[in-house]
Chains A and B, each alone.
Chain A
Amino acid sequence: MDDAELLESLLGGNESSFTELVRRYHSTLVKVARYYVASAASAEDVAQDTWIAVLKGIEKFEGRSSFKTWLLRICANRARTSGVREHRSIPVDANESGPSVAAHRFDQGGFWSEPPVPFTDAIDSRLDNATLLNSVRDAIEALDEPQQAVVTLRDVEGLSTQEVATLLGLSEANVRVILHRGRARVREIVEEAVKGKI
């Protein structure tokens, strides 16, 4: 069932539809909240409050945006308010000014001295698809903020750069820089995992 069908069913009082929406989106809500608030526990609280707000507001939801966008917007707004209350400062990308690939992998002329391990071949021939998906999932889990929220919203949830920028209160240029670094980090972690298996 897609989100709209689940929503319809939830309006009819179907508990399992609520459970399915929770399974789909709760972990993303926690990641978005974590971007704004000071602790994992606060992020869980915000995500839980978001679900209550959804239940309270569901009858007024007019479907002008997708359910996912509506849900994430509720979460971001609540998390922002909680973050302000906690005097939490918005995380900056600690590596923003550094290179996205470790400098030691290039020679003095800027050419690869330690080229990428060709993990696409390795995955095709030695590892199954599930292994790649697990490695990528673990890699995203290992990202720091703000990279984790940006990569999750853009690449996992498929939001546009503009939507991510709005949700996280960033400029689109900033989202692109953070996304680039986050993706590079995910690739690097997957490469390390592949290296250990070849």
Chain B
Amino acid sequence: MKLLPSPLVCRDAVELVSDYLDGTLSRRQRRRLEKHLAQCDACTAYLDQMRSTIAASGRVGPEDLPSDVVEGLVNLYRRFRSDN
């Protein structure tokens, strides 16, 4: 007789969310998580937040570099050009 996997609790479900969003969970783990999500608003909210966070990370764009850092690197470029 094949034992049915025990249902997930929220504490374990949140540990699967990142791999779920990256599509790297096994089929069995994915089904267990989806079954849990279908019944749990809080974990669904957690999943949505992780999704928003990851999407926002991809849109943050480059940081504003301090002007002295940019200046230093531009000077480095000029020195390189004049030496080569």
Name A's B-contacting residues (CB within 8 A). 13, 15, 18-19, 22-28, 44, 48, 51-52, 55-56, 99-101, 103, 106, 109-112, 115-116, 118-120, 123, 132-133, 136-137, 140, 151, 155-156, 158, 161, 176, 179-180, 183-184, 186-187, 190-191
- Whole-angstrom distance between the Cβ of B73 and the nearest chain A Cβ: 5
Cβ contacts under 8 Å, A161 to chain B? 22, 24
Name which residue of chain B comes closest to A28, CB basis. B62
Q: Which B37-71 residues have C-beta < 8 A from chain A?
A: 41-43, 45-46, 48-50, 52-54, 56-63, 65, 69-70
- Whole-angstrom distance between the Cβ of A122 and the nearest chain B Cβ: 10
Asked if residues A116 and B49 are in contact (CB atoms below 8 Å), the reply is yes
Cβ contacts under 8 Å, A24 to chain B? 62
Interchain CB contact (< 8 A) of A23 among B58, B62, B80: B62
Cβ contacts under 8 Å, A179 to chain B? 18, 22
- Whole-angstrom distance between the Cβ of B84 and the nearest chain A Cβ: 8
Name which residue of chain A comes closest to B43, CB basis. A112
Binary contact track B1-19/A, C-beta < 8 Å → 1, others 0: 0000000011110110111
Chain B interface helix/strand/loop/mixed: helix
Asked if residues A115 and B65 are in contact (CB atoms below 8 Å), the reply is no
Name B's A-contacting residues (CB within 8 A). 9-12, 14-15, 17-19, 22, 24, 41-43, 45-46, 48-50, 52-54, 56-63, 65, 69-70, 72-74, 76-78, 80-81, 84
Asked if residues A155 and B52 are in contact (CB atoms below 8 Å), the reply is no
- Whole-angstrom distance between the Cβ of B20 and the nearest chain A Cβ: 10
Interchain CB contact (< 8 A) of A137 among B22, B63, B65, B76: B63
Interchain CB contact (< 8 A) of B45 among A44, A115, A123: A115
Asked if residues A55 and B15 are in contact (CB atoms below 8 Å), the reply is no
- Whole-angstrom distance between the Cβ of A175 and the nearest chain B Cβ: 10
With A26-B69, A110-B9, A110-B11 as contacts: A52 and B54 at CB distance below 8 Å: no
Name which residue of chain B comes closest to A155, CB basis. B57
Asked if residues B45 and A116 are in contact (CB atoms below 8 Å), the reply is yes
Asked if residues A158 and B48 are in contact (CB atoms below 8 Å), the reply is no
CA–CA, A190 and B53, complex, Å: 8
CA–CA, A27 and B52, complex, Å: 23
With A22-B73, A101-B14, A180-B19 as contacts: A116 and B60 at CB distance below 8 Å: no
Asked if residues A15 and B74 are in contact (CB atoms below 8 Å), the reply is yes
Asked if residues A183 and B18 are in contact (CB atoms below 8 Å), the reply is yes
Asked if residues A133 and B60 are in contact (CB atoms below 8 Å), the reply is yes
With A25-B62, A55-B80, A110-B10 as contacts: A133 and B19 at CB distance below 8 Å: no
